[in-house]
Amino acid sequence: MHIKQELNERHTLAVVVDNEPGILARIAGLFTARGYNIESLTVSEITEDKAVSRITIVTSASPHVMEQIIAQLDRLVPVHKVTDLTVLGPHVERELALVKVAGTGDHRIEALRLAEVYRAHVLDATISSFVFEVTGGRDKIDKFVELMGELGLVEVARTGVVAISRGREAA
């Protein structure tokens, strides 16, 4: 007997929650406890009084499991609202990465040139290294990191995806 795999679709969820101790563990733990995937998870306070946070979760699941993920999140006591941005329609997703590249000579010049192409900013420079800040969709950042891999990539820090729906209405 072999374990069967299901076909998954990628979805981006916006989850508005009470900002209280343990909320992140509660959300992340729900995903592990019920066997759901998390591709990325970001969280930050979004109100002035710091009482509410918005969590952006990128997950992949079959449509049936996706429905369950939303229902399971929605019934947690501190969760105000769960929105499936992927289903809702057009939305923008952005991620920020800090990319450290070390090298001299041609590699260094090429890294800087590519950074310009990718509209990355230089946050730190020494005579043998750069730290770039690059924002964009997931694919763009993946590609930038891949290119830097050939040019002396030292390390990468990524924020994970944040997302918001297009148009004037709140999701």
Instruction: Give residues in contact with other proteins (CB under 8 A).
Output: 1, 18, 21-22, 25-26, 29-30, 33, 64, 67-68, 71-72, 74-80
E strand or H helix that includes residue 158: strand 153-158
Residue 88 CB, shortest distance to other proteins, in Å, is 18
Least distance in Å: CB of 75 to other proteins?
Answer: 5
Q: Which is nearer to other proteins, 43 or 99 (CB)?
A: 43
Asked if 121 and 164 count as a contact pair (C-beta separation under 8 A), the reply is no
Shortest distance, CB of residue 29 to other proteins, whole angstroms? 5
Residue closer to other proteins (CB basis): 66 or 111: 66
Query: Considering beta carbons, is residue 22 or 105 the nearer one to other proteins?
Result: 22
For 112-144, letters b (16+ CB in 10 Å) and e give bebbeebebeeeeeeeebbbbebebebebbeeb
